[in-house]
Chains A and B, each alone.
Chain A
């Protein structure tokens, strides 16, 4: 299972890429593997206010459904429109073309308590 360096990771298997006050968020390779084929991602509206810990997107997989949990508070700055027609990008490239939302965050320090890649790697080893 791939874990990408330089990202922050949640215990719900989301990743966050922090650039200034913009946080790009998606689900991890482990998560897409667990969910198997993703057939639909319902994304939030750009401009929506979101709170850290709240469900902001719905991920429908063949066998199950999952939420994307926001890793920070702020405003939705962009969503990955490509996923509307190609939800399989989340399976194929979870850290790249399968990104889900960009959040303009109020305080990037909110993400400090999430795991780094090494800690997340250990975390999924224990889960698996």
Chain B
């Protein structure tokens, strides 16, 4: 049985095309994936991301434990600060990528919908010290309001001054006298906010957000556009670009691995890989033509030798080019390196480029 988020009825009312995703019935698009992508780049859009998982760690050792299971340094977080991180296996492969929130009474982990149950099992299996773990995914709704106009919209409905919230910081706030958690975060490259609250309050907040954004042309955005927006920024998607067979270093996520922070799961393996050097790397590439490289298509050198595989690919409406990500041997990963992608038997030309693909994002 597929689950529904509290916004399911809203999606239907707004004409969404619904698809099964990570065990939920989710809107893939409302009008068109391309126009929704541009809507977020130019104005403001609203995403139902309630399918994401929320895992709470409480107790005196919550922070130490979060630090033990993730690669970034949780001890560096100030109260209400947010951190992007990865959760590795002992061999350095990735269980999931996630956001870590340091809140007054807990550490909140926001994880990928398709991984929530797996993650929770993994975390419980590695439980230590004086902590309590709860999978609260069903009790949270999550709405993302993203785009250059997002602050103007959200400022109308919250009781706090959003100009004081920097990128990757959070705050508690009130909307219509009820309590919510809000952070200046997102998966689009644009300025934006993510609002978390009790599931039953979701539909009312949806209406309030749309009322507030009406005169700025706010629109709902589906998963199709979300995937393009994140790819244009070269943000990794678990299951496509990263998984248990890839390490944070190979994926270019070394910036969220703090090897000197002390003991954590996967540290030895990642340290060893760092010393020996990675053998392959996730690269961003642009295609000369318009055929789209898709997940698992082969990447070849210009002389025709297989050198890797595609992990994500799309037509980018923001830069009007066909783009992709893929793993290639380290010797083929330099910016400017020319590659071929085997697209259903045709060898199509591409070139490794410096990410992100889209360079004018408004994220703070």
Residues of B within 8 A of A40 (CB): 290-292, 315, 322
Contact of B314 among A58, A62, A88 (CB under 8 A): A62
A60 partner, pick from B28, B29, B315, beta carbons under 8 A: B315
How far, in Å, is B148 (CB) from chain A's closest CB? 23
Inter-subunit contact B291/A91 (CB<8 Å): no
Q: Are A36 and B33 in contact (CB under 8 A)?
A: yes
Q: Does B329 contact A (CB under 8 A)?
A: no
**Which of B17, B29, B290 interacts with A39 by CB under 8 Å?**
B290
Q: Does A65 have its Cβ within 8 Å of any Cβ on chain B?
A: yes
Closest chain B CB from A82 CB (angstroms): 15
Judge whether A39 and B292 touch: CB under 8 Å. yes
On chain B, the number of residues with a Cβ less than 8 Å from chain A's Cβ atoms is 16
- B290/A62 in contact, CB under 8 A: no
Q: Which residues of B contact A65 (CB under 8 A)?
A: 292, 294, 344
Contact between chains at A37 and B33 (CB < 8 Å): yes
A37 contacts across to B, CB distance below 8 A = 29, 32-34, 224
Main secondary structure of the interface of B (DSSP, over half): mixed
In whole Å, how far is B160's beta carbon from the nearest beta carbon of chain A?
Answer: 37
Contact (A42, B228) CB under 8 Å given A36-B28, A37-B33, A88-B34: no
Q: Are B290 and A36 in contact (CB under 8 A)?
A: no
Known A-B contacts A60-B290, A63-B224; A39 and B28 likewise in contact (beta carbons under 8 Å): no
What is the 8 Å Cβ interface bit string for chain A, positions 57-81, against chain B (1 contact, 0 not)?
Answer: 0101011010000000000000000
For window 99-117 of A, CB contacts with B under 8 Å fall at none
Question: How extensive is the interface on chain A, given as a class?
Answer: 10 to 19
Residues of A within 8 A of B292 (CB): 39-40, 60, 65
Contact with B along A29-48 (1 / 0, CB 8 A): 00000001101101000000
Measured CA separation A88–B29 after assembly (Å): 15
Contacts of B224 in A (CB 8 A): 36-37, 62-63
Residues on the B chain within 8 Å of A39, using CB:
34, 290, 292, 315
- Pick from A42, A63, A91: contact of B290, CB below 8 A: A42
Contacts of B294 in A (CB 8 A): 65
Which chain A residues numbered 14 to 42 have a C-beta less than 8 Å away from chain B?
A: 36-37, 39-40, 42
Instruction: Look across to chain B and name the residue whose beta carbon is closest to the beta carbon of A67.
Output: B344
CA distance A63 to B315 in the complex (A): 10
How close is B146's CB to chain A, nearest CB, in angstroms?
19
Q: For residues 273 through 316 of chain B, which have their beta carbon under 8 Å from a beta carbon of chain A?
A: 290-292, 294, 314-315
Task: Give A89 Cβ to nearest chain B Cβ, in Å.
Answer: 13
- When distances are taken between beta carbons in the complex, the residues of chain A under 8 Å from B32 are 36-37, 88, 91
Q: Which residue on chain B has the smallest CB distance to residue A63?
A: B224
Distance A91 CA – B29 CA, assembled complex (angstroms): 14
Asked whether, in the complex, the Cβ of A62 is within 8 Å of the Cβ of B228, the reply is yes
Given contacts A36-B32, A62-B33, 19 further A-B contacts (CB under 8 A): A36-B28, A36-B29, A37-B224, A39-B34, A39-B290, A39-B315, A40-B290, A40-B291, A40-B322, A42-B290, A42-B291, A60-B290, A60-B291, A60-B315, A62-B224, A63-B28, A65-B294, A65-B344, A88-B32
